[in-house]
Amino acid sequence: MNVRVVWYVLLFVLGAVVAAAGALVQNAWFPGGLFAGLLGVAGLFYGGLRATDRQLGVVAPAAGWLAAVVLLSLGRPEGDGLFAGGFAEMLYLLGGMAIAVMCATVGRLPRPAP
């Protein structure tokens, strides 16, 4: 198995973990929890970009993040769910997607000469 594929799978899983953590804190300590959740998302997406030096380094954790957020927002038949559809939840969803787009469109910085 290619090492690069392992990195992308790891970034996908980290995206899901960050989404779950952000879902738990974003409404608990509003607005500080929302800021912390979005800061974690930005750090993961930008870190994935810099670690892999490819836009796929942003797409992999963003796909994991989005999949986890969608699954956590569905809830259960009993009505339990982490996202209730309030203001903080919408800011977390839209902010995370905007951060993913911003990180994916950042130009590559030239590498310093060795």
pLDDT, mean of residues 89-104: 92
Q: How confident is the model at residue 4 (pLDDT cuts 50, 70, 90)?
A: confident
Q: Three-state SS string across the chain, please? A: CCHHHHHHHHHHHHHHHHHHHHHHHCCCCCCHHHHHHHHHHHHHHHHHHHHHCCCHHHHHHHHHHHHHHHHHHHCCCCCCCCCCCCHHHHHHHHHHHHHHHHHHCCCCCCCCCC
32, 33, 55, 63 from 82: Cα distances, Å: 18, 14, 30, 19
Share of the chain above pLDDT 70, in %: 88
Q: In angstroms, what CA-CA distances link 43 with 49, 70, 74, 84, 99?
A: 10, 21, 26, 25, 10
The one-letter amino acid at 89: E
Q: How high is the pLDDT of residue 15?
A: 96
Looking at the predicted structure, is the pLDDT value of residue 36 above 70?
A: yes
**Which pLDDT value is given to residue 109?**
62
pLDDT tens-digit readout, 59-72: 999 999 999 998 88
Confidence of residue 79 (pLDDT cuts 50, 70, 90): low
Q: What is the CA radius of gyration of the chain?
A: 15
Say if residue 87's pLDDT is above 90: no
Residue 78 has pLDDT above 80, yes or no: no
- 92 pLDDT higher than 80: yes
Query: Domain residues of the chain, as ranges?
Result: 7-75+82-104
